[in-house]
Amino acid sequence: MSQKKALAALSRREALLLAAGATMVAAGGIVLTGSRANADAKMIDEALVKLIGDTKPVDGKITLDLPQIAENGNTVPIGVSVDSPMTADNYVKAVHLFADGNPTPAVASLYFTPMSGKAEASTRMRMAGTQNVVAVAEMSDGKVFRASQEVKVTIGGCGG
Amino acid sequence: MKFFWRDITLAVATLSVAVGVGASSANAADWGPYQVEDRRSGYTYMTDESRAMQVDTFQNPGMLWVEEGADLWTTVDGKAGKSCSTCHGDAAESMKGIGARYPVVDEGMGKLKNVEQQINSCRGKNMEAAPYKWESKEMLSLTSYVNHQSLGLPVSVKVDGAAAPFFEKGKAFYYERRGQLDMSCSQCHEDNAGNMVRANILSEGQINGFPTYRLKWQKPGSTHRRFRGCNKQVRSTPFGYGSDEYVNLELYVKWRGRGLPVETPAVRN
Amino acid sequence: MASNVKPRVRVPGKAAKGEIVEIKTLISHNMESGRRKGKDGKLIPRSIINKFEVTFNGKSVFSSDWQPAISANPYMSIFAKVDESGEFAFKWTDDGGSIYEKTSKITVS
């Protein structure tokens, strides 16, 4: 094979490689869609009943700090804070975190005390794909609040 | 056949437009020390969250290995009854600059050696201890600790004199097409840096932050682990850890990032 | 990685009475989820840190139950209101029952 021919063949292979990538983007978007979800809202409800009983959560009080798009599903930073004076008779007892697209929805339960000073924590979590993160806060007076946010998780380009 | 670079460029352009995200921050002009002339650290290709994880030395998970390395530094091992610190004292003094200037030519061996090989050479000759395995927790910890002593120092490797022939071999490897996909390092990391490969931005493939904590690996890995990954990705048989091919390549790739700060332990996707 | 687990904590050395201080923690652990397959194709058994607790002078400040969805080398930051000098104690418990502990003193003026 002449040098010139060889180069042409190689370039074509490369072009196909890149074109394949482009097709995938056109067809599937750049992120995993929620269709791969393993858990669902119902599973979260069931898990919640186990943790806190039948009280229906209402929206509010909770602020979630999550990236809109996560670079890698292995390590997604998450911050959660709940609006509360955190005094002996008015504080946040617990915050339960869920991810509705993970094989099991529960992520962590955080138990605060008035000594926490602030009902705020941050950690890093695993996400099996694009999905909703749900936080449910139990207050000392028995009220329950809820918040959720979608995080898109990108598919890796290169392995290694 | 009319599939040429124009088509490739189009495909890449489509990808870039389709995606756009994440790249937004890449438009920011001022990368501070993370850019030298036209050379940009992999740091500049990451999301804000991952960058924050790196620069907060407490949050940075790679620091767990650096701390482990600090313990190993003073741990006596081998028949000679020595630790690293027996000969080298305070690493903050004695190891400063190592991460910026290695690999270097070893006169005795008549070839290049990198930090991992230097560690094992010391362990053998001076400590009379068994060598660490590549990618073992001990090796990653000690290389992380040693390279971390150069944090922020500009990469500056010697590529002339005795190093010249090895540098040339590394450069040749960098531009040589290989594997079933028949691709060279340069095609991704030089010609297409900043473009998308599927959903990721291709970086310049700089190695100023190794051992690097990769989110994908969930632990740190060596430069040679990354080289092996790239080689497998183009469906070529990877070379061995510590092979001459990879140490030569390490010198060339390190030189590509001359002036960039040592970031060990960097956090990358 | 039950062996050689290394906890790190960062607590300010000093604080004013009643101040709310930030506490950061990190611990080296694979957090093996139980859903990953090894080279032999078999599932690697779950092995995670499942509990993290913080006390101050013996009183509970914060505790947390962790699931396999917490990332490897777990990081957690929290807050604490300090009214007196004393010692924070941090305790991580894994599936095998191993306990990893660290303490940190704070002076309140």
In a domain, C1, yes or no: no
* Residue A8 per-residue DSSP state: H
Q: Supply the pLDDT for residue A52.
A: 82
CA C76/CA C67 separation, integer angstroms: 14
At residue A120, the pLDDT reads 98
Q: Which residues of B are catalytic?
A: 230
Write out chain C residues lying below 8 Å of B68, CB-based: 4, 6, 28
**What pLDDT is attached to residue A42?**
81
pLDDT tens, position by position, B190-224:
999 999 887 788 999 999 999 999 998 999 999 99
Contact C71 A74 (CB under 8 A): yes
Do C87 and C54 touch, CB atoms closer than 8 A? no
Q: What is the DSSP annotation of A15-59? A: HHHHHHHHHHHHHH-SB--GGG-SS-HHHHHHHHHHHH-SPPPEE
Average of per-residue pLDDT across B107-124: 96
In a domain, residue B52? The reply is yes
Amino acid of residue B185 = C
> Average of pLDDT values for B46-64?
94
Query: CATH number of the domain that C75 lies in?
Result: 2.60.40.10
Q: Which of residues 74-133 of A touch C (CB under 8 A)?
A: 74-76, 86, 99, 102-104, 106-118, 120-127
Q: Which domain holds residue B219?
A: 35-152+162-268
Q: What pLDDT is attached to residue A156? A: 61
The structural domain count of chain C equals 1
Q: Is the CB of residue B194 less than 8 Å away from at least one CB of chain C?
A: no
Task: Examine residue C2 and state whether it is found in any structural domain, yes or no.
Answer: no
Pair type for strands C75-82 and A119-125: antiparallel
The verdict on residue C73 lying in a domain is yes
pLDDT at A11 over 90: no
Q: Which of C82, C4, C98 is nearest to C48 (CA)?
A: C98
Any domain includes B28: no
B46 in A contact zone (CB under 8 Å): yes
What is the domain-level CATH number for residue B187? 1.10.760.10
Residue B7 located in a structural domain: no
pLDDT in tens, A56-68: 899 999 999 999 9
Mean pLDDT over B233-253 rounds to 97
> How close B137 comes to chain C (CA, Å)?
10
- Residues of chain B in contact with residue C72, where contact means CB-CB under 8 angstroms, are 61, 218-219
Round to whole Å and give the CA distance between B97 and C25.
30
All residue ranges of chain C with pLDDT < 70 are 1-3
Give contacts of B63 with chain C, Cβ < 8 Å: 8, 26
SS3 B231: helix
Q: Per CB distance under 8 Å, which residues of A are interface residues toward B?
A: 8, 10-19, 21-22, 24-26, 30-31, 67, 69-72, 74-77, 154-160
Whether the predicted pLDDT of B170 surpasses 70: yes
Mean pLDDT of B5-11: 42
| Mean pLDDT rounded to a whole number for chain A | 80
Contact A99 C69 (CB under 8 A): yes
Within-domain flag for B126: yes
Inside any domain, residue B180: yes
Which is higher by pLDDT, A87 or B1? A87
**Domain of residue C74, residue span:** 7-108
State how many domains chain B has: 1
Task: For residue B113, give the H/E element and its range.
Answer: strand B111-113
Cβ neighbours of C78 in A, within 8 Å: 116, 120-121
Per residue in C45-71, pLDDT (tens digit) is: 999 999 999 999 999 999 999 999 999
Neighbours of chain B (3+ CB pairs under 8 A): A, C
Average pLDDT over residues B47-54: 93
Does B210 fall in a domain? yes
Phi, psi of B139 (to 5 degrees): -65, -45
